[in-house]
C-alpha cells in the first residue's frame, strides 16, 4: 500500500513547474509518491478529468489530489469518483465560462484552498463561494493567480495537510 499525491497542473502550465517541484519535495519527505500528469495535449477540462480517472491508483492507501487553476477543477470533479483523503486546491478555476460543471460533490471534508486577492484569472469570490458551500479551509492572500509570491507559506500548509491526510 502506498501514499500518493497526484498534482494536476493548470491550463497553460507544465507538469513540473515551480509549484509541483516544491510540493513534491514535501510529499517525498512525508513518504508520499508524487506524480504530475502532463495534460498539455488539451485545454478541455473535462478531457483532463477523464485522463486523471484513467490513472491506475490500485493499491493506494492514502490518495491526495492537488490542483492548480484548471487542475483544481479537474481534481475536484475527479474526486467524486476516486474519493481521495484530501483536496489541496490552488486558485481553483470554479464557476467559469466554458467549464461544464458548476456543482461539485468532492466526497472529502478535508479540503484546503489557496487563492490570491489580486487574481485576475479567477475571481476571488469564486473560491469563497466554493469554500462556503463545502466548508473548506480558505487562505485568501495578497497574491496573483500563480501564487508564487506565497509559495513558502503554501508549502508549509501542504506539509501539515499531508500529515492530516495520512493520520
What per-residue confidence (pLDDT) applies to 1? 65
Per-residue confidence (pLDDT) for residue 110, from 0 to 100: 97
Q: What is the pLDDT of residue 149?
A: 97
The pLDDT of residue 40 is 97
C-alpha dihedral sign at 82, 86, 90, 93: positive
Q: 113 is written with which cell numbers?
A: 484552498
Q: CA-CA distance, 145 to 161, in Å (whole number)?
A: 21
Domain ranges of the chain: 2-166
Per-residue model confidence as pLDDT tens digits over 140-150? 999 999 999 99
Let me know: does 89 contact 111? Beta carbons within 8 Å. Answer: yes
Answer yes or no: are the C-beta atoms of 36 and 7 closer than 8 Å: yes
Which ranges of the chain have pLDDT less than 70?
A: 1
2-166 — its CATH code? Answer: 3.40.50.1820
Residue 143 is given by DSSP the state -
Amino acid at each position: 500500500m502506498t501514499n500518493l499525491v497526484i498534482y494536476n497542473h493548470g491550463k497553460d502550465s507544465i507538469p513540473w513547474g515551480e509549484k509541483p517541484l516544491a510540493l513534491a519535495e514535501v510529499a517525498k519527505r512525508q513518504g508520499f509518491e508524487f506524480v504530475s500528469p502532463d495534460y498539455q495535449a488539451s485545454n478541455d477540462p473535462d478531457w483532463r478529468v477523464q485522463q486523471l480517472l484513467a490513472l491506475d491508483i490500485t493499491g493506494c492507501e492514502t490518495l491526495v489530489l492537488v490542483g492548480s487553476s484548471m487542475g483544481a477543477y479537474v481534481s475536484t470533479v475527479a474526486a467524486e469518483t476516486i474519493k481521495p483523503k484530501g483536496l489541496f486546491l490552488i486558485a481553483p478555476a470554479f464557476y467559469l465560462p466554458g467549464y461544464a460543471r458548476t456543482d461539485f460533490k468532492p466526497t472529502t471534508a478535508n479540503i484546503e484552498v489557496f487563492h490570491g486577492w489580486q487574481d485576475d484569472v479567477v475571481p476571488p469570490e469564486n473560491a469563497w463561494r466554493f469554500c462556503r458551500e463545502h466548508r473548506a479551509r480558505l487562505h485568501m492572500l495578497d497574491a496573483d493567480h500563480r501564487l508564487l509570491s506565497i509559495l513558502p507559506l503554501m508549502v508549509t500548509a501542504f506539509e501539515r495537510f499531508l500529515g492530516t491526510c495520512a493520520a
